[in-house]
C-alpha cells in the first residue's frame, strides 16, 4: 500500500508543476486533462501526507521516550505516542477506502428508465410514484431533471417514463436504484381488501459523452410520427415525435416530449448514446454484464431488489437486508439513508475482496 501511495504522491507533485507550466497552459485540452487528474489524486495525496506526518510524530515520541527520565514528561510522551498510533490506524482505514478502484461513471449525469412490470394498472400507478420520488430526491440535491419520453395511463399512472438527471455525482448516488422494485398494497379498486403485489423496473444509465460513443448516420433509422397520450394529452397535429432505431443493435428510442422535431431528435440521441454506452459495456465487461442482468431483470415478481409494503409502512432492500419504516417519507424523495447504506455495503464488499486478493 505504501509504495502505491508514494507513487500517487509523486504523480500529484508532478501534476502540480505541470498545471503551472506556461507551455502546458497554452494547450487548453492538455491543461484541463492534467487539472482533472490532479483533482482526482488530491484527496489521497493529502491524506498520505497526513499519514507521514503522524507517523513521524509517533516515531519522534518513541525515540524521546527511550532517554526521558522525568515522570511527567514521560507520561506526556507516552500519551502522544499512543495518540499517534491510534490516529495512524484511522488514517490507514481511510487510505484503504481512497485506494479502492473508482467507478469511472460516478460523476456522470444519468438517464433513468422506469417501466411498469407485473400488475397492470397498479404497476403503472406505482411507476409514477417512483418517478415522482426520484424527481423530489433530485430537487433536494439541486439537480436538474428533464423528461424525455413518457407513456401515461388514463388513471394517472405511467407505463414507462424516460428522464434525465444532471448534477454533481448523480450516478454515484443513483446507480444502486437499478433493478426490480416490488410494491405490496391494497389497490383502490379492490373491494375485498386483498393485498396485491406488483413490480416496476428501474434502469439507471450513465449518460454517455460524445467522445465515448460514436454513431454512424448510416446505422440509424429515424421515423417521425404524431404524439399520443392518455385522454388526448400532449396530442399535436404535426409529426414532431421521433422513433430512432440503431440498426446494428436493434435498440429503439422514442421521444415525444417536445413539440419541436429537432429537440425531440436531440433528446432521443442523448438516450441512444447512453443505451449504447451501457450495451457495449455489457459486451466487453462480463462482470458488469452479470451485475446489470441481476439488477434489471424482467419485471417478474420473484426478481426484486426492494419491496415497498404499504400495510406495514416498510421498505426493505433485499441486497443488504436493510429496512426502513417510513414509507410515505421515503416516497417523497427522502431516500438518502437507503442510498448511504447501499454505498457503505458496496464499499465494505470491495474492501473485503481487496483483502482476500
CA 269 to chain centre: 21
62-71, 132-141, 183-192: lowest mean pLDDT where?
Answer: 183-192
The Cα–Cα gap between 335 and 260 comes to: 35
Q: Which three cell numbers stand for residue 205?
A: 444509465
At 1-58, the pLDDT tens digits run 888 899 999 999 999 999 999 999 999 999 999 998 999 899 999 999 999 999 999 9
**Structure letter (DSSP) for residue 315:** E
Residue 78: per-residue pLDDT:
93
* Residue 189 pLDDT class (50, 70, 90 cuts): low
Q: What percent of the chain has pLDDT over 70?
A: 87
Interval 104-114 mean pLDDT: 89
Average pLDDT, the chain: 85
Quick one: fold of 110-347?
Alpha-Beta Plaits (3.30.70)
Q: Which three cell numbers stand for residue 230?
A: 392518455
Residue 282: per-residue pLDDT:
67
54-68, 290-304, 342-356: lowest mean pLDDT where?
Answer: 290-304
Phi and psi torsions of 81, nearest 5°: -60, -50
Q: How many CB atoms lie within 10 A of CB 200?
A: 29
The secondary structure of 66-77 as a DSSP string is HH---HHHHHHH
The Cα–Cα gap between 226 and 228 comes to: 7
Please identify which residue in the block is written with the cell numbers 414509507.
327
pTM for the whole structure: 0.69
Residues 224-256, buried b or exposed e (16+ Cβ, 10 A)? eeebeeeeeeeeeeeebbbbbbbeeeeeebbbb
Residue 302: per-residue pLDDT:
42
- The H or E element that residue 159 is part of is strand 158-166
Amino acid at each position: 500500500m505504501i509504495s502505491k501511495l508514494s507513487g500517487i504522491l509523486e504523480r500529484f507533485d508532478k501534476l502540480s508543476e505541470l498545471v503551472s507550466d506556461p507551455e502546458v497552459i497554452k494547450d487548453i485540452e492538455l491543461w484541463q486533462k492534467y487539472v482533472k487528474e490532479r483533482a482526482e489524486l488530491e484527496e489521497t495525496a493529502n491524506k498520505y501526507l497526513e499519514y507521514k506526518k503522524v507517523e513521524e510524530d509517533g516515531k519522534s515520541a518513541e525515540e524521546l521516550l527511550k532517554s526521558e527520565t522525568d515522570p511527567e514528561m514521560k507520561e506526556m510522551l507516552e500519551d502522544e505516542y499512543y495518540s499517534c498510533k491510534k490516529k495512524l490506524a484511522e488514517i490507514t482505514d481511510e487510505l484503504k477506502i481512497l485506494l479502492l478502484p473508482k467507478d469511472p461513471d460516478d460523476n456522470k449525469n444519468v438517464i433513468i428508465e422506469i417501466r411498469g412490470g407485473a400488475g397492470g394498472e397498479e404497476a403503472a400507478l406505482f411507476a409514477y410514484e417512483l418517478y415522482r420520488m426520484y424527481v423530489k430526491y433530485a430537487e433536494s440535491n439541486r439537480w436538474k431533471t428533464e423528461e424525455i419520453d413518457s407513456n401515461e395511463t388514463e388513471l394517472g399512472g405511467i407505463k414507462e417514463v424516460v428522464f434525465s438527471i444532471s448534477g454533481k455525482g448523480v450516478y454515484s448516488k443513483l446507480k444502486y436504484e437499478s433493478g426490480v422494485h416490488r410494491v405490496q398494497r391494497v389497490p383502490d379498486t379492490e373491494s375485498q381488501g386483498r393485498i396485491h403485489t406488483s413490480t416496476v423496473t428501474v434502469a439507471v444509465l450513465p449518460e454517455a459523452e460524445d467522445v465515448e460513443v460514436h454513431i454512424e448516420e448510416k446505422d440509424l433509422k429515424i421515423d417521425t410520427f404524431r404524439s399520443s397520450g392518455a385522454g388526448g394529452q400532449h396530442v399535436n397535429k404535426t409529426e414532431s415525435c421521433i422513433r430512432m432505431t440503431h440498426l446494428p443493435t436493434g435498440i429503439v428510442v422514442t421521444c415525444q416530449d417536445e413539440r419541436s422535431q429537432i429537440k425531440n431528435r436531440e433528446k432521443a440521441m442523448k438516450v441512444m448514446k447512453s443505451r449504447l454506452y451501457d450495451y457495449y459495456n455489457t459486451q466487453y465487461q462480463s462482470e458488469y454484464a452479470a451485475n446489470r442482468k441481476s439488477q434489471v431483470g424482467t419485471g417478474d415478481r420473484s426478481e426484486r431488489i426492494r419491496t415497498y409494503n404499504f400495510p406495514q409502512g416498510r421498505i426493505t432492500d433485499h441486497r443488504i437486508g436493510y429496512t426502513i419504516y417510513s414509507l410515505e417519507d421515503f416516497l417523497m424523495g427522502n431516500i438518502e439513508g437507503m442510498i448511504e447504506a447501499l454505498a457503505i455495503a458496496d464499499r465494505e464488499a470491495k474492501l473485503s475482496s481487496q483483502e482476500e486478493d
